[in-house]
Protein backbone atom coordinates (compact mmCIF):
# COMPACT_ATOMS: atom_id res chain seq x y z
CA UNK A 1 0.00 0.00 0.00
CA UNK A 2 1.43 3.32 -1.04
CA UNK A 3 0.26 6.77 -0.14
CA UNK A 4 0.51 9.59 -2.68
CA UNK A 5 1.20 13.09 -1.39
CA UNK A 6 2.35 16.37 -2.88
CA UNK A 7 5.99 17.05 -3.66
CA UNK A 8 6.21 19.62 -0.83
CA UNK A 9 4.78 17.14 1.67
CA UNK A 10 7.20 14.47 0.49
CA UNK A 11 10.18 16.79 0.89
CA UNK A 12 8.93 17.90 4.31
CA UNK A 13 8.78 14.26 5.37
CA UNK A 14 12.27 13.46 4.08
CA UNK A 15 13.96 16.67 5.19
CA UNK A 16 12.27 17.36 8.52
CA UNK A 17 10.05 14.62 9.86
CA UNK A 18 12.19 11.54 9.19
CA UNK A 19 15.41 12.94 10.76
CA UNK A 20 13.39 14.23 13.71
CA UNK A 21 11.87 10.80 14.29
CA UNK A 22 15.25 9.07 14.10
CA UNK A 23 16.89 11.56 16.45
CA UNK A 24 13.98 11.54 18.90
CA UNK A 25 13.96 7.74 18.94
CA UNK A 26 17.68 7.39 19.61
CA UNK A 27 18.06 10.24 22.10
CA UNK A 28 14.77 9.39 23.79
CA UNK A 29 15.89 5.81 24.30
CA UNK A 30 19.23 6.86 25.80
CA UNK A 31 17.64 9.44 28.10
CA UNK A 32 14.96 6.94 29.12
CA UNK A 33 17.54 4.29 30.03
CA UNK A 34 19.48 6.72 32.24
CA UNK A 35 16.39 8.16 33.94
CA UNK A 36 14.85 4.73 34.46
CA UNK A 37 18.01 3.49 36.15
CA UNK A 38 18.13 6.53 38.45
CA UNK A 39 14.48 6.17 39.46
CA UNK A 40 14.86 2.41 39.92
CA UNK A 41 17.86 2.88 42.22
CA UNK A 42 15.90 5.39 44.30
CA UNK A 43 12.91 3.06 44.56
CA UNK A 44 15.13 0.09 45.42
CA UNK A 45 16.86 1.97 48.23
CA UNK A 46 13.87 3.76 49.75
CA UNK A 47 10.71 1.95 48.60
CA UNK A 48 11.83 -1.61 47.94
CA UNK A 49 8.34 -2.95 48.62
CA UNK A 50 7.00 -0.88 45.69
CA UNK A 51 9.00 -3.07 43.30
CA UNK A 52 8.19 -6.67 42.38
CA UNK A 53 9.31 -9.23 44.95
CA UNK A 54 11.21 -11.41 42.52
CA UNK A 55 12.61 -10.40 39.19
CA UNK A 56 11.78 -13.10 36.65
CA UNK A 57 14.35 -12.82 33.90
CA UNK A 58 15.20 -15.25 31.16
CA UNK A 59 18.40 -17.24 31.50
CA UNK A 60 18.84 -16.17 35.12
CA UNK A 61 19.97 -12.63 34.36
CA UNK A 62 20.16 -10.14 37.18
CA UNK A 63 17.99 -7.06 37.11
CA UNK A 64 20.86 -4.96 35.78
CA UNK A 65 21.20 -6.84 32.53
CA UNK A 66 18.34 -7.31 30.16
CA UNK A 67 16.48 -4.20 31.30
CA UNK A 68 14.91 -5.77 34.36
CA UNK A 69 14.84 -2.40 36.07
CA UNK A 70 12.60 -1.09 33.28
CA UNK A 71 10.16 -3.93 33.92
CA UNK A 72 10.25 -3.06 37.62
CA UNK A 73 9.33 0.55 36.83
CA UNK A 74 6.46 -0.64 34.63
CA UNK A 75 5.30 -2.77 37.55
CA UNK A 76 5.41 0.25 39.87
CA UNK A 77 3.45 2.30 37.32
CA UNK A 78 0.81 -0.40 36.80
CA UNK A 79 0.24 -1.05 40.49
CA UNK A 80 0.30 2.64 41.44
CA UNK A 81 2.94 2.05 44.10
CA UNK A 82 4.99 4.93 42.71
CA UNK A 83 2.48 7.31 44.31
CA UNK A 84 4.05 6.55 47.68
CA UNK A 85 7.18 8.50 46.71
CA UNK A 86 7.23 11.41 49.14
CA UNK A 87 9.93 13.55 47.55
CA UNK A 88 8.44 15.76 44.84
CA UNK A 89 11.67 15.71 42.85
CA UNK A 90 11.69 11.91 42.56
CA UNK A 91 7.96 11.81 41.90
CA UNK A 92 8.38 14.27 39.02
CA UNK A 93 11.38 12.27 37.82
CA UNK A 94 9.24 9.12 37.72
CA UNK A 95 6.51 10.91 35.76
CA UNK A 96 9.09 12.41 33.39
CA UNK A 97 10.67 9.00 32.86
CA UNK A 98 7.33 7.43 31.98
CA UNK A 99 6.54 10.37 29.66
CA UNK A 100 9.90 10.10 27.89
CA UNK A 101 9.32 6.38 27.43
CA UNK A 102 5.88 7.00 25.95
CA UNK A 103 7.12 9.68 23.55
CA UNK A 104 9.99 7.44 22.48
CA UNK A 105 7.58 4.58 21.87
CA UNK A 106 5.38 6.79 19.71
CA UNK A 107 8.39 8.01 17.71
CA UNK A 108 9.61 4.46 17.10
CA UNK A 109 6.11 3.36 16.06
CA UNK A 110 5.72 6.23 13.58
CA UNK A 111 9.22 5.56 12.25
CA UNK A 112 8.41 1.89 11.66
CA UNK A 113 5.08 2.77 10.05
CA UNK A 114 6.83 5.17 7.69
CA UNK A 115 8.87 2.27 6.33
CA UNK A 116 5.95 -0.15 6.22
CA UNK A 117 3.78 2.28 4.28
CA UNK A 118 6.12 4.30 2.04
CA UNK A 119 5.18 7.69 0.65
CA UNK A 120 5.26 8.43 -3.06
CA UNK A 121 5.35 11.98 -4.46
Residue 48 CB neighbour total at 10 angstroms: 9
pLDDT above 90: residue 79: yes
pLDDT above 80: residue 81: yes
Instruction: Name the residue with higher pLDDT: 118 or 51.
Output: 51
Q: Tell me what the pLDDT averaged over the chain comes to.
A: 86
* pLDDT tens per residue, range 22-70: 999 999 999 999 999 999 999 999 998 888 876 655 545 555 666 788 8
Amino acid sequence: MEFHITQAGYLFFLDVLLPTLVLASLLGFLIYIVCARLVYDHLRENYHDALPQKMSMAFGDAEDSGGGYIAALWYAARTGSWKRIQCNTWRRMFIATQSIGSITGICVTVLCLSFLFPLKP
